[in-house]
Amino acid sequence: MKFYRLQSLILFTVLLSLSLLFASCENSASVEEEEHSDPFGVALILNGVEIAKQENGVVSYAEGDHLELKVGEETNLITVRWIAEDGDRFVPDEAEGYGLQWVIDNEAVTEVEQHEEDGAWSFHLVGTGTGETEIRFELFHNDHSDFTSLPFEVHVEEAVSGMELRDDTGSAVVTVDSEGNVTGSIDVASGSQAGPFTLVFFDDQGGELDTSSEYELEWHTTGTEFATITADTNNPFSIMVDGVTAGQAEVHFELIKGHSEDGGDDHDHDHETVVYESPDIAVNVN
């Protein structure tokens, strides 16, 4: 009888220990999952490198004090990893209703592109115009935000640093430098046509930009009672200038990334990106 009681006691002790062990494991998993569904920060990863993060209430960048891209540029895939209180990077379970959202202060400067193949936690930044803006990332759970990041600063700069307007001999009649200073003017006699004038654009290293694909040219003229500008049929980046009567007109040029159905003067490019806009250039009609 004593032996039977001893066996029962041992069996009870073993079962109790096992139940406590399983309960402990379940609690640990539950705590870990709870920690990893409640982020304290967020990291942005590009090409395997954390380019920016919010951790311990501070936003920092791998280089400088902001994210930087050019007008018309679309970054490689940027992946979000949420940061737990202990510093672990984790990804919430989409099946439980978690997803990524963002808020951009000024979409005229940058936008987020997220293609279907990118997945729920990755995206591209696109430079839509020169300037500075801020973007916040939200961990959405069903219909509400569980976490909203501090703002990340984004600067977008011009991809083009200057331009020249060249006559048919290849000589520059107008030059616009990287500071926007204009040297020269377009001159034409009243009742005559001048040209063709070819526009050449320069990148931020001073090299000529290849505009043979993805780009088109626009111009906007004021003072059309004095001069009109038309496209040269032989070159989409060349123009002809007609002097109507003595006086002065002005024109500025825009380099557009993307193609529209109608180029030239004053067409609608709502779905395209202006990568460069020149200052006003004088057109003198003598």
pLDDT for res 275: 84
Quick check: 54 pLDDT over 80? yes
Residue 118: CA count within 13 A, CB half-sphere = 19
Q: Is 20 helix (H, G, I), strand (E, B) or coil?
A: helix
Rounded to an integer, the average pLDDT of 103-125 is 95
Quick check: 19 pLDDT over 80? no
Rounded to an integer, the average pLDDT of 142-158 is 93
Task: Pick the more confident residue, 26 or 154.
Answer: 154
Mean pLDDT value across the chain: 86
pLDDT for res 264: 54
Sorted by sequence, the CB contacts under 8 Å of residue 36 that are 6+ apart come out as 82, 84, 88, 90, 92
| Contact status, residue 204 vs residue 248, Cβ threshold 8 Å | no
Q: Residue 129: pLDDT band by 50, 70, 90 thresholds?
A: confident
- For the chain, what percent of residues have pLDDT higher than 70? 82
Burial of 222 (0-12, 13-18, 19+ CB in 10 A): middle
Quick check: 4 pLDDT over 80? no
Rounded to an integer, the average pLDDT of 195-222 is 91
Burial of 125 (0-12, 13-18, 19+ CB in 10 A): buried
Task: Pick the more confident residue, 149 or 71.
Answer: 149
The predicted model scores a pTM of 0.59
Q: Residue 166: pLDDT band by 50, 70, 90 thresholds?
A: very high
Q: For residue 10, give the H/E element and its range.
A: helix 2-35
Q: Residue 212: pLDDT band by 50, 70, 90 thresholds?
A: confident
pLDDT in tens, 221-272: 999 999 999 999 999 999 999 999 999 999 999 998 764 444 555 544 445 6
Burial of 161 (0-12, 13-18, 19+ CB in 10 A): buried
